Amino acid sequence: MTTSKITTAEQSVSRELGVHGHRWAGVFDGYFSDANVARPLLDAVEKAIEVSKPDVLADLGGGTGFLLAELLRRGMNSVRLVDVDLSEKQLSACANGRIAKLQSPLNQVTRRQLMAGEGKLLLMSRSMLHYFGRDGIDPLLKHLHRQLNPGEIFVHQSACFARQEDADLMSHLYERMETGKWFFTTDELTARLENAGFSVRAVTLAPSLEMSSVDLGERYDLDEEEKAAIRMEIEEKFGCGQKIFAREGKEFRATLCYCIFTCEAM
């Protein structure tokens, strides 16, 4: 494990390259490649498409293109689809010729890169905002807002928690794994979206992600001693029996909670 705290999304992505590409489909028991798990988000995106009738739909942090491919399987044919991701390994696993690919940091992607000339843009993402950390989330949201015209929509499934204690626990866990990621309550994330210029039109629950310390160890290169130290520290700091964190023998399990936000640029 690295010795210095990672503070940028780019560095955080680089930590995970070992599970990028075709291996990504099996991460966390296939959560990110399960059509049933993705259904609530895809339903929300389809509803936004019906309302806003975009010319281009860009999936920010779209990785292997799974979500966009699922939309194609649902019969979406009238919208240009763009998979935006920083990881070349993720984009290389997107082999669908109907999906355009753009390698770019998400806080630098521009409307001009996504579409030429006039037209309507819709943005979507899943499990992306927490990559930008406590200090990077507001600049990111304001940047994304600047790429949208008034009335255009951003639909995203983002990690957040009903209780501040749970958000603090998960942030501490990811800080101990030196990822640079940070987590907010649903109310705080809503407030940050509104501060960036979005009107939050709907917030609905999405399937939670159950993460074993075995999977986390593989993703973030943690050895047994490091995992044990993290488990004991969280138990001491937050107590045992937390709903989102529990011991499993020598290992532990953590639960990442998600909500789907439908946001309109004002």
CB atoms within 10 A of CB 76: 17
- Relative to beta strand 153-161, strand 184-185 is parallel
CATH architecture type of domain 9-265 = 3-Layer(aba) Sandwich (3.40)
Q: What's the pTM?
A: 0.93
Q: Which of 134, 146, 130, 118 is nearest to 54 (CA)?
A: 118
pLDDT tens-digit series, residues 74-131? 998 889 999 999 989 999 999 999 999 999 999 999 999 999 889 999 999 999 999 9
CA distance 54 to 117: 13
Structural domain boundaries of the chain?
Answer: 9-265
**What is the mean pLDDT for each group of 10 consecutive residues in the chain (266 residues)?**
49 75 85 96 97 97 96 92 94 93 96 94 97 96 98 98 97 94 97 98 98 93 95 91 88 97 98
